[in-house]
């Protein structure tokens, strides 16, 4: 996969992270928050 993405603000990407990271432009991500089942949200409080 050698195509580059033209990302807009507030985009959610779903897929294989190893494939997506190859096409996401450098310096285009400000935050990645993952909660795969670490349950950081307990009793409705984050």
Query: Tens digits of per-residue pLDDT, 27-45?
Result: 888 877 776 666 656 666 5
Q: Are 18 and 36 in contact (CB under 8 A)?
A: no
Quick check: pTM over 0.75? no
- pLDDT value of position 6: 72
Q: Provide the number of structural domains found in the chain.
A: 1
Rounded Cα–Cα distance for residues 17 and 44 (Å): 28
The DSSP element (H or E) to which 22 belongs, if any, is helix 17-23
The DSSP symbol for 17 reads H
Q: Are 3 and 23 in contact (CB under 8 A)?
A: yes
- pLDDT value of position 36: 66
- pLDDT value of position 26: 85
Query: Is the predicted pLDDT of residue 19 greater than 60, yes or no?
Result: yes
Q: How far is CA 37 from the centre of its chain?
A: 16
The residue range of the domain holding 42 is: 1-46
């Amino acid at each position: 996969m050698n195509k580059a993405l033209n990302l807009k603000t507030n985009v959610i990407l779903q897929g294989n992270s190893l494939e997506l990271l190859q096409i996401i432009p450098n310096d285009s991500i400000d935050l990645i928050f993952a909660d795969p089942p670490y349950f950081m949200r307990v009793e409705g409080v984050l």
